Structure 1
Amino acid sequence: MSKKRVAIQGTRASFHEEAAYKYFGEDIEIVECVTFKQTCEAIKKGTADYAVMAIENSIAGSLLPNYALLQEFNFPIIGEVYLHIQLHLLALPGVKFEDIKYVHSHPIAIRQCNDFFEDFPHLQVLEKTDTAACAKNIRENNLTDTVAIANLTAAKMYDLQVLERRIETNKKNFTRFLILANEAVESSKNNKASICFQVGNTIGSLAKVLNIFVENNINLTKIQSMPIIGKPNDYNFYVDLEWGKESDYDHCMRKLLKAVVNLAVMGEYLKNPMK
């Protein structure tokens, strides 16, 4: 039986690879992609069976461009996974902190460490496409004046020393990743969904919709609004919701159909604990 092919944004030893292993297990084939859009294109072209996509971080917030990708490619969300993010400064062995001039990492990782770098204004913090790729670049180009913000897996893979440990602002730092596939997976165990809809631009229209969730014992875990391109004052609302009884969810969705515009179920799946 062939291995599941999982597309990730970034290179080996990135947080996306770590999330893929946490969700699928070790027996998978990793498909490296430079951008999030390329992970979706990999599913579309058939070079990957699944994609792992970061959607929000407990410090840096939502990755808004990825909501647009979910809308553009319309692949069903079949799962989620939370990863405890621990960020470290990695350098070539022997490099001292006073030798550093440049810091390279993904912009989301940088934002998670803003408090640390406020104490070192002389350092030039430069945004790159991937945390692990920054570590790899230091090793391949023998950069003695540069550090990367990355995880311990990258340090081990590229033989780098940990110059500073746990530099993230908040130690309870989690990133939520979505699992995308070409087809939805139906299961009686599903207890979470991601949906998208629009409401009328009138007073109380959103409040009326939110009250439908309350009346049907549905717990909203996230609501994110995104402007609709070319339609000023119109928004898509992306909502994550959880239920205890499937009948409550079914009844809620029937009510929503009458109350909103362009209701789309982006995925129904089993919620994953944050641990």
Structure 2
Amino acid sequence: MKKGPKVAIQGIKACFHEQAAYKFFGQDIQPVECTSFKHTCEVLDKGECDFVVMAIENSIAGSLLPNYTLIREYNFAVVGEVYLPIQLHMMALPGVKFEDIKFATSHPIALRQCVDFLDDYPHIQVIEGSDTAACAKKISDEKLTDTVAIANSLAAELYGLNIIERRIESNKKNYTRFLILKKEKTEEMRDTSKASICFQVGNHVGALSKVLNIFAERNVNLTKIQSMPVLGKRNDYYFYVDVDWKNMEEYDKAVRQALKYTVNFNIMGEYQKNEKV
């Protein structure tokens, strides 16, 4: 029986990246557990997996800025996106009560999504971990009776923990957007409706608006813009832009025109728009 693609995820079994991978590819995949986002890129770069699933933004915590840099530096192709609703629960060993808690541990991005809840309990010390599911596993493995993990219900079930507070995320309409990355760009995907683009513009009045107006004039919709400083160059920025369209020909014309007014223009990926949460 043929196995599905190898997909690198940041985290271990029952983490949100694994959930996102299953949502995008289906159940027939081989998850490759990695300790960091950089690790997932290294695995893909070495050909030890077929795809990477990488979180890029959260509706509460915002963009994961270092991940934009990783995608650009490794020159990976963005071939898809997936949105995952994020429900975060506080979990502990069976028998542990809320008043026993001294420490709460989770991934830094998950902790940022629960800041309103955690601010109400200043006596609980927050400890950043490598991954939501790994924090749950550590409590289970080390029998920590004074520590809770903040993770999803799958982690609680898998690692034998009790959920003592449900849905502690600051906004109940919390979701994370993940990008699907591949090592090489492929030309066969032309039934696309969205793109992730990176470029620089000159440091003068109207330079950026000129480029963005080119897309607007072609009815290409700007869905996101993110700026990142160019390392070591004051006032120079990379602009990461997501656009979608209904007419591929108009998008192609906009890209050709934008090339004249930008530097280091790079289409990181063209893919099918997917906003189902």
d(CA) in 1 for partners of 2:229, 2:205:
18
- Decide which moves more: 179-188 or 198-207: 179-188
1:2 and 1:109 map into 2 onto residues whose CA distance is 32
- The DSSP-based 3-state class of the residue aligned with 1:184 is coil
Matched, 1:101 2:90: no
Q: Does 1:68 align with 2:69?
A: yes
Structure 1, gaps ≥5 residues long = none
- Find the counterpart in structure 1 of residue 80 from structure 2: 79
Output aligned runs, 1:24-35, within 5 Å: 24-35=25-36
Q: 2:260 aligns with which of 250, 254, 258?
A: 258
CA positional deviation for 1:235: 0.4
Give 1:274 shift. 3.4
Q: Which residue of 1 aligns with 2:132?
A: 131
Counterpart code for 2:245: W
1:36 match: 37
Report SS of the residue matched to 1:117. helix
1:47 correspondence with 2:48: yes
Tell me the CA shift for residue 45 of structure 1: 1.1
- Kindly provide the amino acid, as one letter, of the partner of residue 180 in structure 1: L
Q: State the match for 2:246 in structure 1.
A: 244
In structure 2, C-alpha distance between the alignment counterparts of 1:219 and 1:45, rounded to whole Å? 35
Letter in 1 for 2:115: N
Determine if contact 2:3/2:28 at 8 Å carries over to the other structure.
Answer: no
Q: Residues 127-186 of structure 1, C-alpha deviation per residue, up to 9 Å, x if partnerless?
A: 111000000000000001000000001011001101000000000001000000122343
- State how 1:1-275 maps to structure 2 within 5 Å: 1-185=2-186, 186-275=188-277
Distance in 2 (CA, whole Å) between partners of 1:55 and 1:211 is 25
How far did 1:210 drift? 1.1
Residue by residue over 1:53-77, the C-alpha shift from the partner in whole angstroms, topping out at 9 and shown as x without a partner, is: 0000000000011111011101100
CA distance in 2, matches of 1:158, 1:224: 37
Whole-angstrom distance in 2 between the partners of 1:208 and 1:73: 28
What is the SS of the residue equivalent to 1:125? Answer: strand
After TM superposition, the score normalised by the length of structure 2 is 0.98
> 73-82 or 184-193, which moves further after superposition?
184-193
Paired residue type of 1:106: H
Q: Aligned partners of 2:18, 2:201: CA distance in 1, in Å?
A: 37
SS in 2 for 1:236: strand
Partner-residue secondary structure (3-state), 1:189: coil
TM-score (norm 1): 0.98
- Distance between the aligned counterparts of 2:149 and 2:183, measured in 1? 34
SS of equivalent residue, structure 2 residue 275:
coil
SS in 1 for 2:13: coil
Write the letter of the residue equivalent to 2:87. Q
1:199 aligned partner, one-letter code? V
AA of the residue aligned to 1:216: R
Shift of 1:194: 0.3
CA drift at 1:209: 1.0
In the TM superposition, residue 5 of structure 1 has moved relative to its aligned partner by 0.2
Q: CA deviation digits over 1:84-136, x for unaligned, max 9?
A: 00000010111100000000000100000010011111000111110000000
Q: CA separation in 1, counterparts of 2:123 and 2:149?
A: 16
Give, in whole Å, the separation in 2 of the partners of 1:7 and 1:187. 22
What do residues 234-261 of structure 1 show as CA deviations (whole Å, max 9, x unaligned)?
Answer: 0010000000010110110111111111
Structure 2, gaps ≥5 residues long: none
Cα deviation for residue 229 of structure 1 reads 0.7
Name the CA distance, whole Å, in 2 between partners of 1:120 and 1:37: 33
